[in-house]
């Protein structure tokens, strides 16, 4: 990517909500911004940003405004993830899925969500084997300036998480353990097996 294209992608990325939800079809806000800058993606593929972001992107690109494409989802009110501690089995799958490190906890122990850090991306919902996570609307109506401050903080957490994971992968490569399950991965596997057993037992009792 040329410096001019990179500069344009950075300007576009600065306008995105940084939920890192992947609804746009890309692996994060920056990859989507790069695709928009290169003309590979439309300005209307960001449900969290909705009409406001689409208008801002149109202005940056000097292009016609396009309303949100419903194929990528619908704009929703601000929400955060909540974990039902009575159901949580401590499998850590939600921690692995969270793109901004907004979930804390330890293996076999209940996890919790840092509400101020949660972007509402919903990526933690599908991997939960016991469906103990739900989304709760915050009722907030932040200003555009507040949204940009929140997005900047989320971008920083996302970048730090990616850097940490890259270091961990490099360490595994160096140690020759790339294809060897980590302790955490083995714990996750056992937790999922326990969850499946619990759900199967519950289903039998309900018959």
Query: Of 86, 159, 161, 79, nearest to 122 (Cα)?
Result: 79
Q: What's the first-to-final CA gap in the chain, in angstroms?
A: 59
Does 38 share its domain with 94?
A: no
Does 109 share its domain with 12?
A: no
Residue 15 near residue 44 (C-beta atoms within 8 A)? no
**φ, ψ for residue 107 (rounded to 5)?**
-55, 135
pLDDT at residue number 122: 95
| Token pair 């799958």 in the structure block, residue | 93
pLDDT at residue number 112: 94
**Cβ atoms within 10 Å of 70's Cβ, excluding its own:** 9
Does 56 share its domain with 110?
A: no
In angstroms, what CA-CA distances link 174 with 36, 167, 168? 36, 10, 10
pLDDT at residue number 34: 97
CATH number of the domain encompassing residue 64:
1.10.15.40
Q: Which two three-digit tokens encode residue 184?
A: 């955490």
Does 15 share its domain with 39?
A: yes
CATH number of the domain encompassing residue 107:
3.30.70.20
Rounded to whole angstroms, how far apart are CA atoms 42 and 178?
37
Does 7 share its domain with 107?
A: no
Residue 30 near residue 13 (C-beta atoms within 8 A)? yes
Does 84 share its domain with 56?
A: no
Does 107 share its domain with 192?
A: yes
Q: What is 5-52 written as a DSSP string?
A: HHHHHHHHHTTS------TTSSSSHHHHHHHHHTTSS-TT--TTTHHH
pLDDT at residue number 59: 97
Strands (E), the chain: 79-83, 103-104, 112-113, 133-137
Number of helices followed by number of strands (H, E) in the chain: 6, 4
Does 94 share its domain with 194?
A: yes
Q: What total of structural domains would you count in the chain?
A: 2
pLDDT at residue number 39: 96
Does 17 share its domain with 109?
A: no
Domain limit, last residue, from 56, 72, 88? 72
Beta-sheet pairing, 103-104 with 79-83: unpaired
Domain limit, last residue, from 17, 43, 72? 72
pLDDT (tens, 9 = 90+) of the chain, 207 residues, equals 676 889 999 999 999 999 999 999 999 999 999 999 999 999 999 999 999 999 999 999 999 999 999 999 999 999 999 999 899 999 889 999 999 999 998 877 789 999 999 999 999 999 898 999 999 999 989 999 999 999 999 999 999 999 998 998 888 888 876 665 554 555 555 555 665 665 566 556 655
Does 65 share its domain with 167?
A: no
Domain limit, last residue, from 72, 99, 121? 72
Boundaries of domain holding 136? 78-207
Does 148 share its domain with 166?
A: yes
pLDDT at residue number 175: 80
Does 202 share its domain with 133?
A: yes
């Amino acid at each position: 990517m040329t410096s001019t294209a990179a500069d344009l992608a950075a300007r576009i990325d600065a306008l995105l909500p940084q939920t890192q939800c992947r609804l746009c079809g890309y692996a994060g806000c920056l990859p989507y911004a790069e695709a928009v800058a290169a003309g590979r993606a439309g300005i209307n593929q960001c449900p969290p940003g909705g009409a406001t972001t689409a208008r801002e992107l149109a202005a940056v690109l000097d292009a016609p405004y396009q309303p949100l494409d419903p194929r990528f989802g619908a704009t929703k009110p601000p929400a955060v993830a909540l974990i039902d501690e009575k159901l949580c089995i401590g499998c850590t799958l939600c921690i692995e899925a969270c793109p901004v490190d907004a979930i804390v906890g330890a293996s076999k122990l209940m996890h919790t969500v840092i509400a101020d850090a949660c972007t509402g991306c919903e990526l933690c919902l599908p991997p939960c084997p016991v469906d103990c996570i739900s989304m709760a609307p915050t009722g907030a109506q932040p200003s555009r300036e507040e949204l940009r401050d929140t997005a900047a903080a989320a971008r920083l957490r996302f970048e730090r998480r990616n850097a940490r994971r890259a270091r961990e992968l490099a360490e595994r490569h160096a140690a020759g353990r790339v294809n060897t399950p980590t302790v955490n991965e083995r714990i996750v596997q056992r937790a999922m097996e326990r969850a499946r057993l619990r759900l199967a037992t519950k289903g039998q009792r309900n018959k």
